[in-house]
């Protein structure tokens, strides 16, 4: 990056600012002490671990900022096409370890801190997770950002800076409790407040039509104004100077005073109205895979895209004046339908503010946007009441009608006179309450629509939107999800990393995961098998310590660790798992001492949050904890079975659980889980899947081989038939399941009335087909036990799992998006600094 000429600024400026921060131990130590003294205002001779974490974080931040500035200046100079990833959620987790590893400064920080009296690994634990997301969708966005920076793509993430992230889950008396997560309370060294980047966002108001010689003009006026302030989080690529950015918006009161209100003596209520504007980015909605039609949520969505588009357009205009170039310089990806109102917002700006003609403006919009679908569950499809949009965003509602009108003309051309087609494709759903189908708007307004695993994309195209696919066959694509091997192998599993480095004779796998397939050559090498075992053992002991610390439960680390971690949802079927656990418990109880000697010891680990309003999911949590209580206090089964529900599941806890797992449960009803991404993290870490052929499990089975997994259950094409069988009351309940039900009803696990609604939901409408899959699930679990008894065979399968995971790297996913949707290229920063990579 070439600095601006010295002529323009005082020469002293460049004399002083020619170099970057040094990364030797002394410089790092000096930086930490300076930050402890000057940033935290604490004494540098006496500070605790948390201050050491903060001091370290600020020195890392300094280095990130240098790289970030280099990168942004370089992009500005080269002006490549950029991608903007719009997501209401980024589940970032912790940043310190990630930044240190990606910048390649682990050894330097380790020894620098040791001399100051701190273990680097201990300081990682001081950091609070950034939990601005619910689950898979938000974590996917963060994995993607890591890959985009690592692959040197000119990319920006955009999102919201919620003051309260995902709630903190407690478990009391077996029930979930929710405590607000005010994550910023101790400050956030990873963000850079940009008071110089602010935009004004309008809500409510009215539209005035003005006659003019070039056609009528529409002005959106009045209403409430809210200010959007930018907060940046630098995202370092691995082993590169390229450092991208996630820009999160925070809402603040607008400067302008409503003079009438103030002068009318309504000072306090006028201040209150201002304060309300800060509510917009207060809290993350804690629902995953469900739509809640709250006005505040729509406000969040519009606030987010309005500010983002101001920013994107400002950047575009720095170098361009011709709007036809916009789609050649800008790609916008919608992470689900949540930012879909952005399609209409860009269109509005082109028409009302840039005075571009309708057809041309619409071309620009559709060439720019692409949409990712993450679920086909009907309860998750967003449909905003027309009345709500009309009130909050009156001009947008007018434009949606116009867009729909022109779209329906296309539909009539394709299917003349077919009213049914018009009704099913329309962006507006007719009925007692008219609604805008956001998915339809996203499809119509994008040049590309993708699902997140092969099977899911098939369903999106053929089962959910078949008429759209008939209209635009080339619009629909698949982009199977991926996860970053940096966080999920290198950082989470140092033992496995060492094995890979040693046996592959390179650490190239960190950015080229295809290297791991070479591990298969050594599959029969006893030395590798021994190392593999001891790393798994180490990771299990680490998890056992964590379980002891958080739950007070002692678990046997020689037992098989059976893990089920994800949001609690009926379709993910934690219920199937716990019913299986009950059956196992009852079986052990009935065994003779001789038979018990053959039992495979298990530790069954659950973790996950239920949406606070999801009553049935919360009942499932209660059942799991009640069963755990009984089993864990039964001396007779002590060595054979333990059940643990780890509270407050989050990214950093996942980083401890995943590497310690022997099997992981991916047991959703076929056709319900769009992809799943923890299945990929587990497979990378050598954990075997017990699962249905759902989501990305299907592709994992193709890569890993079904013989190296435990696949069971109904297939997607059998689901409708199975549901019909249920309705016809033709399902014969497996006798083992009857025994389980009986024990629940008899109160073995506490007052049966608590669990009655769960059993009722199975008996009257087993929508997720838990009962029909139950016997198949038990069979698969029996296979797990059998294989566990031949440890070497187990380890070989574990190694095969790890070595077959290339395809599930988010690097592969991001290359596909870049080449097949965005049409962008890497833009590697050529740095002026000799010390950089
Ligand atoms: C998940 N979706 C899918 N949604 O369930 C999962 N929803 O199969 C997939 O692997 C993952 O997305 C990534 O593609 C979600 O996580 C949400 O969290 C969500 C949030 C708000 C509203 C609706």
Give the integer Cα–Cα distance in Å for 590 and 602: 17
The hierarchical CATH code for the domain 79-94+129-480 is 3.40.50.2000
Assess whether 435 carries a catalytic annotation. no
Containing 449, the helix (H) or strand (E) segment is: strand 448-451
Per-residue tokens: 98: 């990630």
Specify whether the CB–CB gap between 32 and 56 falls below 8 A: yes
pLDDT, position 648? 98
Q: Give residue 653's Cα distance to chain centre.
A: 15
pLDDT at position 266 = 81
Q: What are the structure tokens assigned to 785, written together? A: 């036990």
Structure tokens that stand for 687 in this block:
């954990």
CATH, domain range 485-795+802-808: 3.40.50.2000
Q: Residue 21's Cα: distance from chain center in Å? A: 33
CB 364 within 8 A of CB 353: no
* Helix locations, 291-338, DSSP H: 295-319, 326-329
Question: What is the rounded CA–CA span in Å between residue 98 and residue 50?
Answer: 18
Q: Do domains 79-94+129-480 and 485-795+802-808 have the same CATH topology?
A: yes
SS3 232: strand
Q: How open is the CA angle 695-697-698, to the nearest 5 degrees?
A: 85
CA of 377 to the centre of ligand 1 (A): 10
| CA-nearest residue, atom 17 of ligand 1 | 288
What are the mean pLDDT values of the chain's consecutive 10-residue runs (837 residues total)? Answer: 56 70 97 97 92 98 96 96 98 98 98 98 98 98 99 98 98 98 96 98 97 88 96 98 98 79 78 88 94 95 98 97 98 98 99 97 98 96 97 98 98 98 98 97 98 98 98 98 98 98 98 98 97 98 98 98 98 98 98 96 98 98 98 97 98 98 98 98 98 98 98 98 96 98 98 98 96 98 98 98 98 99 97 53
pLDDT in tens, 465-491: 999 999 999 999 999 999 999 999 999
Q: What residues form DSSP beta bridges with 663?
A: 562, 688
Strands 688-691 and 710-711: parallel
Residue 457: CB within 6 Å of ligand 1? no
Long-range contacts of 309-317 (CB under 8 A, 24+ apart): 309/342, 309/345, 309/346, 309/349, 310/199, 310/228, 311/158, 311/197, 311/199, 311/230, 311/247, 312/84, 313/349, 315/82
- How much distance in Å is there from the Cα of 134 to the middle of ligand 1? 8
Structure tokens at 780: 């698969």
Q: Measured in angstroms, how far is the CA atom of residue 219 from the centroid of ligand 1?
A: 37
| pTM for the model | 0.97
641-646 and 602-607 beta bridge pairing: parallel
3-class SS of residue 693: coil
Q: Note the pLDDT tens digit of each residue in 200-244.
A: 999 999 999 998 887 889 999 999 999 999 999 999 999 999 999
> Is 567 designated active site?
yes
Instruction: Classify strands 224-236 and 192-203 as parallel, antiparallel or unpaired.
Output: antiparallel
Q: Ligand 1 in contact with 136 (CB < 6 A)? A: yes
Considering only CA atoms, which residue is closest to atom 21 of ligand 1? 288
Model ipTM value: 0.99
- Overall size of the chain counted in residues: 837
**Tokens 């050649």 belong to residue:** 328
Catalytic residue among 81, 161, 395, 566: 566
Tokens at residue 503, please?
A: 């046996």
d(CA 822, CA 817): 6
Q: Which of 709, 699, 598 is nearest to 663 (CA)?
A: 709
Distance 342 CA to ligand 1 centre (A): 20
Sketch the domain layout of the chain as residue ranges. 19-78+102-128, 79-94+129-480, 485-795+802-808
674 ligand 1 Cβ < 6 A: yes
Residue 285 CA: nearest ligand 1 atom is 21
In whole angstroms, what is the distance from residue 305 CA to residue 201 CA? 10
**How far is the C-alpha of 492 from the C-alpha of 657, rounded, in Å?**
9
The DSSP bridge partners found for residue 383 are 437
254, 486, 567, 723: which is the annotated catalytic residue?
Answer: 567
**Ligand 1 centroid, distance to 650 Cα (angstroms):** 15
Active-site option among 61, 475, 681, 797: 681
Q: Residue 230 and residue 249: Cα distance in Å, rounded?
A: 5
C-alpha angle 833/834/836, rounded to 5°? 75
Concerning whether 566 is annotated as a catalytic residue, the answer is: yes
Q: What is the DSSP letter of 668?
A: P
In the 8-state DSSP scheme, what is residue 82?
Answer: E
Gap between the Cα atoms of 226 and 228, Å rounded: 7
Residue with the nearest Cα to atom 18 of ligand 1? 288
pLDDT of residue 63: 97
In the residue annotation, 681 being an active-site residue is answered as yes
**How far apart are the CA of 354 and the centre of ligand 1, in A?**
36
| Mutational test site, ligand 1, from 166, 375, 454, 460, max ligand atoms within 8 Å of CB | 375
Residue 592 CA to chain centroid, in angstroms?
47
Q: Does residue 662 have its Cβ closer than 6 Å to ligand 1? A: no
- Please answer whether residues 240 and 837 qualify as being in contact, where contact means their C-beta atoms are separated by less than 8 angstroms: yes
What span, in angstroms and rounded, lies between the C-alpha atoms of 715 and 728?
20
Does residue 813 contact residue 482 with C-beta atoms inside 8 Å?
yes
- Please identify which residue in the block is written with the tokens 């503010």: 353
Phi, psi (rounded to 5 degrees) for 724:
-65, -40
Of 162, 289, 481, 667, the residue with max ligand 1 atoms within 8 A of its CB, to mutate for a pocket test, comes to 289
Contacts of 124 (CB under 8 A, 6+ apart): 53, 94, 96, 97
Atom of ligand 1 nearest to the CA of 140: 13
Residues whose CB falls within 8 Å of the CB of residue 440, separated by 6 or more in sequence, listed in order: 425, 426, 427, 468
Q: Which of 86, 137, 612 to mutate to test the pocket of ligand 1 (most atoms within 8 A of CB)?
A: 137
Q: Residue 75: which of 822, 814, 815, 830 has the closest Cα?
A: 830
| Maximum Cα–Cα distance across the chain | 95
For residue 522, indicate whether it is catalytic.
no
């Amino acid at each position: 990056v070439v600095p601006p000429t010295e002529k323009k600024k005082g020469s002293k400026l460049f004399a002083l600012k020619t170099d970057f921060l040094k990364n030797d131990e002394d410089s790092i130590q000096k930086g930490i002490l300076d930050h402890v003294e000057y940033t935290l205002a604490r004494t540098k001779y006496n500070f605790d671990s948390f201050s050491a974490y903060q001091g370290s974080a600020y020195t890392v931040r300094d280095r990130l900022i240098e790289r970030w500035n280099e990168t942004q200046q370089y992009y500005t100079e080269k002006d490549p096409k950029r991608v903007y990833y719009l997501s209401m959620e980024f589940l970032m987790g912790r940043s310190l370890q990630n930044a240190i590893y990606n910048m390649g400064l682990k050894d330097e920080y380790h020894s620098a801190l040791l001399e100051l009296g701190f273990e680097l690994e201990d300081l990682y634990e001081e950091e609070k997770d950034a939990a601005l997301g619910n689950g898979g969708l938000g974590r996917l966005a963060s994995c993607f950002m890591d890959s985009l920076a690592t692959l040197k793509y000119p990319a920006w993430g955009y999102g919201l800076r919620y003051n309260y992230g995902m709630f903190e889950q407690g478990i009391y008396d077996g029930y979930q409790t929710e405590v607000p997560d005010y994550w910023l309370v101790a400050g956030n060294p990873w963000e850079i407040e940009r008071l110089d980047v602010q935009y004004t966002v309008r809500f409510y108001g009215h539209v005035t039509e003005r006659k003019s010689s070039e056609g009528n003009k529409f002005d959106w006026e009045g209403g409430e104004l809210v200010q959007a302030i930018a907060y940046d989080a630098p995202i370092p690529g691995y082993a590169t100077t390229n450092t991208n950015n996630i820009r999160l918006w925070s809402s603040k009161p607008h400067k302008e005073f409503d003079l009438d209100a103030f002068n009318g003596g309504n000072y306090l209520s006028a201040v209150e109205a201002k304060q309300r504007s800060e509510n917009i980015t207060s809290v993350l909605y804690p629902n995953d895979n469900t739509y809640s039609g709250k006005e505040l949520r729509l406000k969040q969505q519009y606030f987010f895209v309005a500010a983002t588009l101001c920013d994107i357009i400002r950047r575009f205009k720095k170098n361009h004046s011709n709007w036809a170039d916009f789609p050649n310089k800008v790609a916008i990806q919608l992470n689900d339908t949540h930012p879909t109102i952005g399609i209409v917002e860009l269109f509005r700006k082109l028409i009302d503010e840039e005075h571009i003609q309708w057809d041309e403006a619409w071309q620009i919009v559709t060439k720019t946007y692409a949409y990712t679908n993450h679920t086909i569950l009907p309860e998750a499809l967003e449909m905003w009441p027309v009345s709500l949009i009309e009130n909050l965003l009156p001009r947008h509602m007018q434009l949606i009608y116009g867009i729909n009108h022109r779209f329906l003309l296309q539909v009539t051309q394709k299917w003349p006179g077919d009213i049914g087609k018009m009704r099913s494709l329309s962006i507006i759903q007719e009925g007692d309450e008219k609604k805008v189908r956001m998915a339809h708007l996203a499809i119509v307004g994008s040049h590309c629509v993708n699902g997140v695993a092969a099977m899911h994309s098939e369903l999106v195209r053929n089962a959910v939107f078949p008429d759209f696919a008939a209209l635009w066959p080339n619009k629909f694509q698949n982009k199977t999800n991926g996860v970053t091997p940096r966080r999920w192998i290198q950082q989470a599993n140092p033992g496995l990393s060492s094995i890979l480095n040693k046996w592959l004779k390179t650490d190239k796998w960190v950015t080229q995961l295809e290297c791991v397939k070479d591990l298969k050559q050594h599959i029969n090498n006893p030395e590798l098998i021994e190392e593999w075992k001891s790393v798994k053992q180490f990771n299990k002991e680490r998890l056992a310590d964590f379980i002891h610390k958080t739950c007070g439960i002692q678990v046997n680390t020689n037992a098989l660790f059976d893990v089920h971690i994800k949001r609690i949802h009926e379709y993910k079927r934690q219920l199937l798992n716990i019913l299986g656990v009950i059956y196992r418990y009852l079986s052990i109880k009935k065994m003779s001492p001789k038979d018990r000697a053959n039992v495979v010891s298990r530790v069954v680990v659950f973790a996950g949050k239920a949406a606070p309003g999801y009553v049935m999911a919360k009942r499932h949590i209660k059942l799991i904890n009640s069963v755990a209580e009984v089993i864990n206090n039964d001396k007779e089964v002590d060595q054979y079975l333990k059940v643990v529900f780890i509270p407050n599941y989050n990214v950093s806890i996942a980083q401890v659980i995943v590497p310690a797992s022997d099997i992981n449960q991916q047991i959703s009803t076929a056709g319900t889980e769009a992809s799943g991404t923890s299945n990929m993290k587990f497979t990378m870490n050598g954990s075997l899947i017990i699962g249905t052929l759902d989501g990305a499990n299907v592709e994992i089975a193709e890569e890993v081989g079904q013989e190296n997994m435990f696949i069971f259950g109904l297939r997607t094409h059998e689901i409708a038939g199975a549901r019909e069988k249920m309705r016809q009351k033709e399902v014969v309940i497996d006798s083992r399941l009857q025994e389980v039900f009986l024990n629940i009803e008899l109160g073995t696990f506490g007052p049966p009335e608590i669990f009655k609604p769960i059993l009722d939901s199975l008996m009257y409408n087993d929508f997720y087909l838990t009962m029909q899959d139950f016997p198949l699930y038990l069979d698969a679990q029996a296979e797990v036990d059998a294989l566990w008894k031949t440890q070497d065979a187990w380890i070989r399968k574990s190694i095969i799992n790890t070595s077959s995971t290339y395809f599930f790297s988010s690097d592969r996913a991001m290359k596909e998006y870049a080449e097949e949707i965005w049409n962008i290229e890497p833009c590697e920063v050529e740095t002026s600094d000799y010390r950089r990579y």
